[in-house]
Amino acid sequence: MPVYISVVLCTYNDEKYIAESIQSILDQTYPYFEFIIIDDGSTDETNKIIKSFVDSRIILIEKANTGLIDSLNIGFARAKYDWVARMDGDDISLPERLETQVKYIKNSVAVIGSQCALINENGDTIGHTWFKSKHRDIIHFMKIGLPVLAHPSVLINKKMFDLSNGYDKLMYVAEDFDLWCKLSHYGELMNINKELLCLRKHSSNISSLKQDSQFLNTKIALFKLKHRLIGISQSEYNCIKNNVESSFIYKRVYNYRNINDVRNIPLRKMLRIVSFVYNIIYYFFL
């Protein structure tokens, strides 16, 4: 009996890439899935391009522009299967992605990610990820605020997702990192040591446009992780935010968030070491 999967793709104004992204899912060697596409009120040709695809597995949800987190939660609520694969409208899944990931499904696992090839706007390979593969190592790297999973690459245990209360609207731009923190209380996080996704890096990426918000909310997610907080109210978020921002250690870590902009390579390496130490100290002083 095959394991059926719900693929959730969220898109907004991805007319340049959306056709290739959709086709990469339809071309999967693993055929047992439904394909939920949420168009978050695109104002370009994205919606028209989506509708040009004729495939019974596609379920198109059209909505007003309310943001990625809302789209994600709508997609997961609509998903009818126990495992949900994430996808974005500007990335490319390799043909064997789903077939490879289902082989790692276990009741104890919450998230199955993979390594990725990094591509630019033109589809040229510009790098590769080197995420840790084992749960223990992933947790260690999470605690010092380092990337541990590529959001569009993951296959998520929906039962554990529901227990975690899903994506938190308060954790804007860091909603995926916050989700990994919450899901780690329910099951294992893992990465397959094989590239199964082409992850596109370009100037329109939200993480590029909202670096300050992402940095702050990543630190708040770590606070929640340490204190085993799943759901928090707006007032609780504001309280944690004020405590985090007033921390001396947080201010020191904040100063090193744009190390890659330093052109002097020896200085950049030294600053990386200092930042690494501050991140370790930060977690223990939360």
222-281 pLDDT, tens digit each: 999 988 999 899 999 999 999 888 877 777 777 666 666 656 667 666 666 666 676 667
What's the 3-state SS for 74-115? HHHHHCCCCEEEEEECCCEECCCHHHHHHHHCCCCEEEEEEE
Pick 283 or 38 by higher pLDDT.
38
Distance of CA 250 to the CA centre of its chain: 23
For the residues 70-81, what does the mean pLDDT come to? Answer: 98
234-250 pLDDT, tens digit each: 999 999 999 888 877 77
| Per-residue tokens: 249 | 């250690």
If you ran DSSP here, which 8-state letter would residue 117 be given? E
Residues 190, 133: contact at Cβ < 8 Å?
Answer: yes
Residue recorded with tokens 């989506």: 50
- What domains lie within the chain, and their CATH numbers? 5-204 (3.90.550.10), 211-284 (no CATH)
Give residue 212's pLDDT.
Answer: 84
| Per-residue tokens: 144 | 């010092």
Interacting residues of 2 by C-beta distance below 8 A, sequence separation 6+: 32
Residues 145, 221: contact at Cβ < 8 Å?
Answer: no
3-state DSSP helix/strand/coil % of the chain, to nearest 5: 45, 20, 35
Percentage of the chain with pLDDT > 90? 74
How far apart, in whole angstroms, are the C-alpha atoms of residue 224 and residue 279? 16
